[in-house]
Amino acid sequence: MDVQLSADQGDVIDRIAENQGFHDFDVTASPGSSKGDNYMGSGRDEPPKKLHLILKSASRSAKLRETIPIKKAYLREIYVYDTIFPAFESFLKEHDCPVRLSPHAKLLGSCVKDFEECVVLENLKEAGYDLWDRTTPMDWDHIALVLKEYGKFHAISLAMKEKDPELYEELTKDLDNVFGKPEGEEEDEEKRKGFEAFMKKNVGNGIKAVKGNQKAVDALERFSDVVAKFMVDDIRAPEDMLVVLHGDCWNNNMLFKYEDPQAKRPSQVCLIDWQLSATGSPGMDLSYFLFTCAPKEILADQEKCLRTYHDAASETLGGLGLDPESIYPFDLVEHHWKKYSRFGLYMALSLLKLMLSEGQEVPDMAELADSGEDLLDGFSYTSVNEDKYNQRVRDMMTVCVDNGWL
């Protein structure tokens, strides 16, 4: 099925194609939800040459934009690709650090015009990258690779604050929470109440899933009482704003490369979708990732997970000429994990139903908003895979209760 590009999106694609040496070409667009989707420019007078791209475009729903900061999210992602990544990579090179971040997708073009926001990235599937099945928890090989990448990425923030604090301050001065209230703006009480209701509903789904396990029910009921304050206010504690975060850490935002596709053992990971990147606690990335992606036995092995992450962070700090134990000791990692494990739990309660749903079940947020239906009600559906959701929640809560994380 072909997709119709807007005039502005077409202009972006045309500029990219010309920059890549295409002068007489056709553009074919297909939906990005299917395997191998791309945008191709084919030479007409030479042997066929193709340029495979991914275009991610914003919803044009005015109603949805009243609820979700769509423009800010696209501007944030563009900023990360255009500014944060080059600055971090230059910092590593300038200090002769032997550690390097894994490759990220190249941003080839973008548009920031209202209602036409988009980013165009190289299609990494052409380079052998692929997604993990979102309905299945990851195995240790994949989880370890992601933890190491987060360790390296977070360590650069910590090192830059030590070696070039003015640069870090300049880079991060506007990296606030995309969903947060802009500084100086009065809080919209109606919107806050809506978010609070949404959060309580998600925790309520978890309570239903663990019915029969009174300790888990009690823990989630306690969490429900404070979830809004924790997710809106507490996660912005100034003393915990240690690093630049990925911010959106579920498995659809990670591409893996396999030297031997048959073995399914990944050799590289590429983190994608940086629309929610912000400064914050490293525990937020770690808990979001592990709660949404790890099976019960890996989530329960907190020591192994955090050590894997911390070893990578320490290697990066050491490669930058710093003492890891004075800047980022393991007990500080543990502190952030214990404080922010609730963040990962909440994100899992919010996302697991969508992750485990069949494609046709997932509601279209723009259609819900335009129809006047409450977004909260629209996402309150019973999935055909409800049993899988309930089991994943029961597994998470067993680990949480056993470790006293709630």
With bands split at pLDDT 50, 70 and 90, how would you rate the model's confidence at 13?
A: confident
Instruction: Count Cβ atoms below 10 Å from residue 299 Cβ, excluding itself.
Output: 24
Torsion angles phi and psi, residue 249, rounded to 5? -105, 30
Q: What is the pLDDT of residue 146?
A: 99
115 — pLDDT class (breaks 50, 70, 90): very high
Share the mean pLDDT of the chain. 90
For the segment 300-315, the average pLDDT, to the nearest whole number, is 99
The per-residue pLDDT for 183 is: 63
Would you give the end-to-end CA distance of the chain in angstroms?
A: 47
Q: What is the pLDDT of residues 34-79, one digit of tens each?
A: 332 333 332 333 445 788 899 999 999 998 998 889 999 999 999 9
CATH 3.90.1200 placement within the chain: 127-403
Structure tokens at 200: 């309580």
Residue 232 has pLDDT above 60, yes or no: yes
Inform me whether the pLDDT recorded for 104 exceeds 50. yes
Distance in angstroms (rounded) separating the CA atoms of residues 260 and 364: 37
- Give whole-number Cα distances, 32 to 2, 37, 52, 249, in Å: 11, 5, 12, 20
pLDDT average, residue stretch 335-359: 94
Total-model pTM: 0.92
pLDDT for the residue numbered 393: 98
What pLDDT does residue 47 have?
Answer: 47
For residue 300, the model assigns a pLDDT of 98
* Predicted pLDDT at 223: 98
Per-residue pLDDT at 396: 97
Residue with tokens 């009482």: 225
- pLDDT band for position 399 (cuts 50, 70, 90): very high
Fold of 127-403: Aminoglycoside 3'-phosphotransferase; Chain: A, domain 2 (3.90.1200)
Whether pLDDT at 376 is above 50: yes
Within 10 A of 367 (CB to CB), how many other CB atoms are there?
14
Higher pLDDT, 196 or 343: 343
Q: What is the pLDDT of residue 186?
A: 72
Q: What is the pLDDT of residues 251-280, one digit of tens each?
A: 999 999 998 777 789 999 999 999 999 999
Contact between 351 and 362 under an 8 Å Cβ cutoff? The reply is no
Please tell me the distance from the alpha carbon of residue 127 to that of residue 136, in angstroms, as a whole number.
24
CA separation for the pair 184, 181 (Å, rounded): 8
pLDDT average, residue stretch 109-119 = 95
pLDDT for the residue numbered 27: 77
Q: Residue 123: pLDDT above 70?
A: yes
Q: How much is the pLDDT for 35?
A: 33
For residue 307, CA distances in Å to 8, 316, 394 come to 47, 14, 25
Q: Which whole number is the average pLDDT over 199-213?
A: 95
